[in-house]
Structure 1
């Protein structure tokens, strides 16, 4: 009994694809729209998500390769951490530090360091390829998590865009059907002896 009901449901769902006297060209067009929308949402979403995640992961790997940590000395005390809410705190503050580059030249600049240190203490700072202070690159696990989230976000964004475009196309088809029905009613209504207002 359940199998018969499932077969009947499949026949009803696929009625736009079968030849029958009630099927119109717009019905076939709508069936193609639905098929294309779901295909692009699934396959396109997977593809865009994977490409985005791979590109983000490559970008994070490049950051880890390009940035390096060096020891530095605090020029001034950093103070304590700054509260960021009820339970969170920022454990890094910006402070003046000095360090010696690989070629032996001394440098002094502002950099992010751990809070709670006094002037003269040694801290670790991160430098970019030009030797300028920068933020620490994301760890491998943090980069993997963020890459995954970016991939999922890209897939959802594409799915929403395609679904919206498909909905707009189906709405246009419905408007065309309503206009056609109105014209037919204008033509056939008087033959029945009355017209709806």
Structure 2
């Protein structure tokens, strides 16, 4: 069974007196499309993975955690819970100083009812703007591979679809050639069958 499947897949490369020039061209097109699809997907995926890894590594180096203070009391009432889930927190205005000494303000999530002046840890970039907590090395690797896989698959889709369209055009052209040849030899074939009787 495996041998039969192998013959089906490799028929374009075997010697055959009935094989036409169009079949040879299609064989090379199929091979070229598969190679280009694989190469494009791998290169694009690896490039995207490395780019994301470098970007996230730069964030881990440049982003800093600084202390910010509430400039006003947080809305809501604090019932003494110690949970830090986002559903237990509210937005409040805080102020912090960047590395160059400039003052910045922004909104962060804190416990309800936190008094003015409460210290809160926030993450900032090189310009002192609020950012999220940077990813860990393992999180960055996972994210980079996921993005790289998506980019690689998307990039490989382009030559694959292009190859399918080209093969479709070749198939249409081959059918047209068959029609033309049948118009030439069909009447001759029908005449011979009429002379020799029905089969």
Shorter-normalised TM-score: what interval?
0.7 to 0.9
* Residue number among 116, 121, 125 corresponding to 1:124 in the alignment: 121
User: CA 1:104–1:52 in 2, change beyond 3 Å: closer, same or farther?
Assistant: closer
Length-normalised TM-score, structure 1: 0.78
SS of equivalent residue, structure 1 residue 154 = helix
Per-residue deviation, residues 14-53 of structure 1 (Å, max 9, x unmatched)? 2212232111111111111221222233333222212211
C-alpha separation in 2, matches of 1:111 and 1:21: 77
Partner of 2:197: none
Aligned partners of 1:189, 1:102: CA distance in 2, in Å? 87
Q: TM-score, normalised by structure 2?
A: 0.77
Kindly indicate whether the alpha-carbon contact (under 8 Å) linking 2:48 and 2:151 is maintained by their aligned counterparts in 1.
yes
Q: Does residue 153 of structure 1 match 2:150?
A: yes
> Partners in 1 of 2:37 and 2:29 — Cα distance?
12
Structure 1 residues 117 and 31, CA gap change in structure 2 (3 angstroms): farther
Of residues 9-18 and 177-186 in structure 1, the stretch that sits farther from structure 2 once superposed is 9-18
Counterpart-to-counterpart distance in 1, 2:137 and 2:127: 23
CA deviation string 1:114-164 (max 9, x = no partner) = 453613211011221112223332232322211110011012112222221
Question: Over aligned residues, Cα RMSD in angstroms?
Answer: 2.6
**Map of 2:172 onto structure 1:** 175
How many pairs are equivalent? 181
Could you say what secondary structure the match of 2:12 adopts?
Answer: coil
Match of 2:17 in 1: 21
Task: Verify the 8 A CA contact 1:53 1:147 in the aligned structure 2.
Answer: yes
Aligned pair in 2 of structure 1 residues 173, 58: CA closer, same or farther (>3 Å)?
A: same
In the alignment, structure 2 segments of 5+ residues that lack a partner are 77-84, 192-199
